A and B are shown apart, each in its own frame.
Chain A
Amino acid sequence: MATAICEAGAEFSTARRAGDYVRLFYPDVSVTVDRKAAQLASDERDAAALRLIWRSVLANEALLARAAAQRAAVIEALLR
């Protein structure tokens, strides 16, 4: 089993949500998140792949939080 320990990131709530979505999108990956670190493990991926998964999912959470209002405005204007 490969494991990877990654920085949780600045916002704990963001990191916790990222952990939730790692579990959802990558069911073979187990993840625990605390205020300092996220630990990922999987029998099917190596450590580098696990780190990349964490970085991607964490980036998505951060981007979503920052852009949510503008994204919603664009969609609403189009669907109207």
Chain B
Amino acid sequence: MTAFLPLRAHPLGEAALCVSDGGRFFAGPAGFLDRLAGDALTGDDRAFLIREGHLVDADDALGQAAHAYNLAERLTRAGPLDYLILVPTLRCNLSCSYCQVSRASVNAPGFDWSGDTLAAVLAMLDGLEADRIKIEFQGGEPTLRPDLIRAVMERCESHLASGRLAEAQFVICTNLQQLSPEILELLDRPNLYVSTSLDGDVATHAKNRTGGDAATGVFFENLRAVIDRCGPEKISALPTIDPLDPPEAEALIDAYAGFGLESIFLRPINYQGFARKRHRESREQGAAWRAYYERFVRAVIARNWADRRRVLEETYFSICLRRIFQPGADRHVDMRNPNPLGVDYIVVDHDGRVYPTDEARMLSRAGVIDLAIGDIFSGWDTPARALLNAQSTNQFDPACQRCAFQPFCGRDLVDDIARYGRIDLPRPETEFCRKHRHLFGFIFDLIYDDDPAVRWSLSRWLRLPGTPPALGVRLT
């Protein structure tokens, strides 16, 4: 009989992490690696591997089916179009130094949807096959055009009323510089959420985004007003961090916790838009950023342990943690394998052009490369889309095939193009790979950490009802 071991190893402290192609894993002693390499497994090794589902025997049809099922769970299957990023205007009433979308001035003409573009977007909504839709309004500053937001929402709500849509969720990504009665009426709708930027305390936020006292004061007043009116669950906020001058982790956590915001998506400045000139160092993140990131997550863990009435998290850590234990639980479109582009998710720009991702839109606006796959009028099932999708997997990359984290990882062509102007660099030479090898390595360090505080936070981030005695299996 022929058996095979679809395993990959990675150093884990003094032990070896072993991960199967389907994402199941265990930690073993270093000596086990020598036995693996030398094809000299002991009887106990084989019994363990069989018991844990890592050894796939050619005569075991059920085992083979289980292995294939585990593998299939890790692969993305794109459904119908059900996630839209709509950019009704590229105009903005702020001018952040790191603006990734290269916003247009608040009074600039020609950067809003035309009447024809709105009509085409509404026609697209009428033709959706999915029975659920999530729409994110981006910009610029979308609240400069509440009429366009309302038109889209009302069209979706008419489909909800008719039963053609079962669910519609909306997000407005806004700098909260203005809260007109019209905007507040939109925010009162239960299926609409707000995403905003909160870079830290007042001084940090002002330095990065709002500049003077007036605009800064308006933002914090409006943020408090929305939370008081609608509850903290209405809002998600994200900081943009300058890795060269990051805020103290505790101060950043305080800034969020003070508003009742429990999920903090730690983002370094994105190498897009204005940042490509004003923050050139953002192209790569180095050891200093990764050390800061670890300090931040450990600070969150300590906070959670000190006060277990509330669970704080670093959002992306939680997403990647769930990718390990709960494939399919989240649908973070920047982290999928394969990563279908322009299929279940598109971006419709202010001029009606369609992009596969928001970052692709940013690259076009910055004049780096035109990654539009079509437009809202004539469609986007184009050779451009097919060309991107032909490359949008990590499954056959020789480096990824040797990486223990490949089952949990993804592929982001647009990120590679943004940073390097090409998609064929050896994966470990890209920021995407370095970032995720660091992150998954850190996650597994914590999975195998015996500190009860760590286990408590990981269990909460996995949305478990309790805290198991251990989160990872060990071969002793």
Within B354-411, which residues are at the interface with A (CB < 8 Å)?
Answer: 395, 399, 401-404
Q: Is the pair A66, B39 in contact by a Cβ cutoff of 8 Å?
A: yes
Interface size on B, as a range, is: 20 to 34
Q: Is the pair A64, B402 in contact by a Cβ cutoff of 8 Å?
A: yes
With an 8 A cutoff between CB atoms, is B36 at the interface? yes
Complex Cα gap A48–B30 (Å): 10
Within B2-54, which residues are at the interface with A (CB < 8 Å)?
Answer: 4-11, 14, 16, 21, 30, 33-34, 36-39
Q: Known: A56-B16, A62-B37, A78-B72. Is A24-B399 also a contact (CB below 8 A)?
A: yes
Within A24-68, which residues are at the interface with B (CB < 8 Å)?
Answer: 24-25, 27, 48-49, 51-53, 55-64, 66-67
Q: Is the pair A67, B71 in contact by a Cβ cutoff of 8 Å?
A: no
Q: Which chain B residues have a beta carbon within 8 Å of chain A's beta carbons?
A: 4-11, 14, 16, 21, 30, 33-34, 36-39, 56, 67-68, 71-72, 75, 395, 399, 401-404, 426, 428-429, 437
Q: Is the pair B37, A9 in contact by a Cβ cutoff of 8 Å?
A: yes
Q: Is the pair A55, B37 in contact by a Cβ cutoff of 8 Å?
A: yes
Q: Which chain A residues have a beta carbon within 8 Å of chain B's beta carbons?
A: 9-10, 21, 24-25, 27, 48-49, 51-53, 55-64, 66-67, 70-71, 74-75, 77-79
Complex Cα gap A77–B399 (Å): 22
Chain B residues closer than 8 Å to A67, beta-carbon distance = 4-6
Say whether chain B's binding surface is mostly helix, strand, loop, or mixed: mixed
The 9 A-B pairs with the shortest beta carbon distances in the complex, nearest first, are: A55-B33, A59-B37, A56-B9, A52-B11, A70-B4, A67-B4, A62-B37, A59-B33, A59-B36
Q: Is the pair A63, B36 in contact by a Cβ cutoff of 8 Å?
A: yes
Chain B residues closer than 8 Å to A77, beta-carbon distance = 68
Q: Is the pair B30, A55 in contact by a Cβ cutoff of 8 Å?
A: yes
Q: Known: A21-B402, A25-B437, A74-B68. Is A63-B7 also a contact (CB below 8 A)?
A: yes
Chain A residues closer than 8 Å to B403, beta-carbon distance = 25
Using CB atoms, name the residue of chain A closest to B426.
A24
Q: Is the pair A52, B37 in contact by a Cβ cutoff of 8 Å?
A: no
Q: Is the pair B399, A63 in contact by a Cβ cutoff of 8 Å?
A: no
Q: Is the pair A55, B16 in contact by a Cβ cutoff of 8 Å?
A: yes
